Amino acid sequence: MPLPGSTYTCGWATMQKTYRRCRLDVLAYISKALRNLSARFQKKTKRNFLKSSNSIFGKIGRSASEEVLIELIKSKCLPILLYGTDVCPMNSADRHSLQFTINRIVYTIFGAVSKDLYIEISAHFGIESVENLVANRQNRFSNRYGETDNYLLCQTLR
């Protein structure tokens, strides 16, 4: 810090270091904020997913076939569960938690099934894993907004 009345010269290298340090501080802050936001979103989205799936079961009950129930869950409830996953960073525990939520719905529809039978049911009805669904959403988001003018924000979200 210069003394009052003295001349202060700042070289280009010093300015670049300061800019990089400020940029990393901003990135760390944004990343931490997104992580906290992700935890809150996950809690709310799981609750809303279960509400919507329960309302489908309440209206339709066991009168509809499994195919209809799965398609309704995939088209109406799954977007609620995956809301915000394209932007918010997720670790493996978050993804496993979302996968568990989907598994419980499948177990509710088909009853208690073994892991092998669950894999067959998923393949037959086209139920993708949360890992694939989140990766697809994040890739689609990156492709859509990757060429934006806000380079700092896009690098944070990747």
How high is the pLDDT of residue 85?
82
Query: What is the pLDDT, as a whole number, of residue 99?
Result: 92
How far is CA 28 from its chain centroid? 19
| Beta carbons within 10 angstroms of residue 101's beta carbon | 19
pLDDT in tens, the chain (158 residues): 454 544 444 454 454 455 555 555 655 666 666 666 566 667 788 888 889 988 988 888 778 888 999 999 999 999 988 887 887 777 888 889 889 999 998 888 888 788 899 889 999 999 999 999 999 988 888 787 766 555 555 555 55
Evaluate whether 104 touches 54 at the Cβ level (below 8 Å).
no
pLDDT value of position 13: 47
Q: Provide the pLDDT for residue 123.
A: 92
